Amino acid sequence: MKADKTIELRILKIILWIYIILCLVIAGLNYGYASQASPEVAAFITWFWHFYENWIKMAFIILGSFLTLRIIGASKRTTMRKRNLTGFIIAALVVHIISPLLLNNTELYFFTMPLPWTTTPLQLLDPGSSFYLSRLPVWGITGISAALVFYVCFSVIVTIGTLLFGRRWQCSTLCLFNGFASEVFAPAFPLVGKKKKAGSRGLRVFSVLRWIFLFMALFFTLYWILYLLGVSLPGNIETIGKIELYKYLSAELLMAMFFWVAFIGRGYCYYCPLGTVLGLLGKIVGQKIITNNTKCIECGQCNDVCPMSIDIKNRAKDGKSVKELRCVGCGHCVDICPTMTLSYSTNFIELISKI
């Protein structure tokens, strides 16, 4: 059995390596080489990019989820993690397979991260933006309208779900940027070296980065909103768009993958601007980890499995709820607790549990 798990873990790591390498290669070709290539080569790069982002990613999510559950082991409680993986599989089927086929648009994944994470939808509202002009020949007016409707619907689903279920709804069920990888490939992190925890100094750095990236995201969002309203603004709108793109490629996409290789899967989640906003909403709706369902024996397993380096044990030993902004609601601590004293909750969850 142990040998089987070793093989399965090795396969999971190989899949993650393939995913990272393909992502870097395709992103480099798409953002760097495609504009200089012949029309035929550029068209192939675009096609393969979309095929990779939709069909290959979907296959990796399903296979990775299966392997992760096998590695965790059927003898352990995996209720929360099974819900996470089920949610990501359903989200991926809708975003990467079903919706693209129905709407004839293979780039809908661009529109699955609500404001302020990206201003792509706002750019699509401006007929003069480079993004709009590049998509118009491909999608047409109807396709652009469909993409915007899809974005609005997805944003409403994320917002309402967060108001009911806290940050868990997006970060551990729907997020197809970093959240899915953090759960689907959880046993494989880090790809190099041993598992690491963020120390007090690291947490302080991440705390500063959290607010810096939120400020930048809000700046880009406000800039585009004012621009669309016709307000005269300093700077060039195309330059602003390029700066945001470079921020995404370097500080988000590349850094997320660096964390997968050298740190943990949730590294980017420490300073994701959307995650910060949803964390603040989570506080409003009473998101917490209840710690007094039975009795804490101070084994520390909850702290060991928490991907966000939250000190759950010291709260649990006193029976105090954990109300932490950076909690993504993954439920790893809930599943691992040997005395079943932990549970994830919000005001809404508590309400329906009483019915």
pLDDT in tens, 42-63: 889 889 989 999 999 999 999 9
- What the chain holds in terms of domains, given with CATH numbers, is 2-279 (no CATH), 286-353 (3.30.70.20)
Residue 39 has pLDDT above 90, yes or no: no
When pLDDT is averaged across residues 177-199 and rounded to a whole number, the result is 93
- pLDDT for 1: 55
pLDDT bucket at 19, cuts 50 / 70 / 90: very high
- pLDDT for 197: 86
Residue 4 has pLDDT above 70, yes or no: no
- pLDDT for 2: 63
Question: 0.95 exceeded by the pTM?
Answer: no
**Top-confidence residue, 130 or 217:** 217
- pLDDT for 43: 87
pLDDT bucket at 5, cuts 50 / 70 / 90: confident
**Top-confidence residue, 77 or 182:** 182
- pLDDT for 35: 76
Average pLDDT, the chain: 93
Residue 76 has pLDDT above 80, yes or no: no
pLDDT bucket at 336, cuts 50 / 70 / 90: very high
Q: What is the pLDDT of residues 90-128, one digit of tens each?
A: 999 999 999 999 999 999 999 999 999 999 999 999 998
* CA distance linking residue 343 with residue 58, whole number of Å: 30
When pLDDT is averaged across residues 324-353 and rounded to a whole number, the result is 96
Q: What is the pLDDT of residues 255-313, one digit of tens each?
A: 999 999 999 999 999 999 999 999 999 999 999 999 999 999 999 999 999 999 999 99
